[in-house]
């Protein structure tokens, strides 16, 4: 198993500087991580730093609350791809999920999926710490029906991160054809391997180097 290929090397802090983005990209090149995950404002810069490499540029949409309008998420996604993003991690309409309006949740995801070319990976952040198990299942089903590529546990900016129980529940819900990304609080090799064993096919982490170096 190439653990480095599971990792989206992540920096999403509001105060991240261009120097830190450059460092993240250099580390991703050195350790051959799957992608760097950065805020949209850095996509063009990261794409330039990573050109001619296999490291993908991943960015976030409707982040971190998921409470922007669908039209805004669609615009963000199109702009990000136009700037060079290979992967999009979008946050669902969490309020609609809590209200049981699954049609709205699904349509929000579908419009983003349809707004970008087919080769662009769309991951759907369901923010597991704010949902009960039934809601987690329904959110995953909505992402699957909307033809997203992945479901993802967390933004890392809410009340909790990934748990192996949530990853296992998400994997059992979406089956083998979709990806599951464990994100938020995965900070060492042991926890990363635990998430993979539970069904994760990608790990979002700011401590990717620690994970692969242990």
What Cα–Cα distance (Å) separates residue 11 from each residue in 35, 93, 105, 184? 11, 23, 27, 12
Question: What's the average model confidence in pLDDT over 109-114?
Answer: 98
Task: Identify the CATH number of the domain in which residue 77 sits.
Answer: 3.20.20.70
Query: Residue 177 has what pLDDT?
Result: 94
Question: What's the average model confidence in pLDDT over 98-122?
Answer: 98
Structure tokens at 143: 């992402």
For 126-181, what is each residue's pLDDT tens digit?
999 999 999 999 999 999 999 999 999 999 999 999 999 999 999 999 999 999 99
Name the catalytic one among 89, 108, 149, 166.
89
77 close to 112: Cβ distance less than 8 angstroms:
yes
For 77-94, what is each residue's pLDDT tens digit?
999 999 999 999 999 999
State yes or no: is 181 an active-site residue: yes
Query: Residue 1 has what pLDDT?
Result: 85
Question: What's the average model confidence in pLDDT over 25-32?
Answer: 98
State yes or no: is 89 an active-site residue: yes
Task: Tell me how many domains the chain contains.
Answer: 1
Domain of 185, in residue numbers: 3-213
Confidence of residue 10 (pLDDT cuts 50, 70, 90): very high
Beta bridge mates, 150: 123, 179
**Residue whose structure tokens are 């105060």:** 15
Name the catalytic one among 123, 144, 181, 207.
181
Contacts of 146 (CB under 8 A, 6+ apart): 106, 107, 109, 110, 113, 124
Name the catalytic one among 144, 152, 166, 207.
152
Q: Is the pTM of this model over 0.85?
A: yes
State yes or no: is 132 an active-site residue: no
């Amino acid at each position: 198993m190439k653990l480095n290929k599971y990792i989206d090397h992540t920096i999403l802090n509001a105060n991240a500087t261009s120097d830190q983005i450059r460092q993240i990209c250099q580390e991703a090149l050195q350790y051959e991580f799957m992608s760097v995950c950065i805020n949209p404002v850095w996509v063009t810069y990261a794409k330039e730093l990573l050109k001619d490499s296999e490291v993908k540029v991943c960015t976030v949409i409707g982040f971190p609350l998921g409470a922007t309008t669908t039209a805004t998420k669609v615009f963000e996604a199109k702009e990000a791809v136009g700037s060079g993003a290979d992967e999009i991690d979008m946050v669902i309409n969490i309020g609609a999920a809590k209200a049981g309006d699954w049609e709205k949740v699904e349509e929000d995801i579908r419009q983003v999926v349809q707004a970008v070319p087919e080769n662009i990976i769309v991951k759907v952040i369901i923010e597991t710490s704010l949902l009960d198990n039934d809601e987690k299942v329904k959110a995953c089903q909505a992402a699957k029906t909307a033809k997203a590529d992945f479901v993802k546990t967390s933004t890392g900016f809410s009340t909790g991160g990934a748990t192996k129980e949530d990853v296992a529940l998400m994997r059992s819900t979406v089956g083998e054809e979709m990806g599951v990304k464990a994100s938020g609080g995965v900070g060492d090799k042991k926890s990363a391997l635990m998430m993979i064993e539970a069904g994760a096919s990608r790990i979002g982490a700011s401590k990717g180097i620690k994970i692969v170096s242990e």
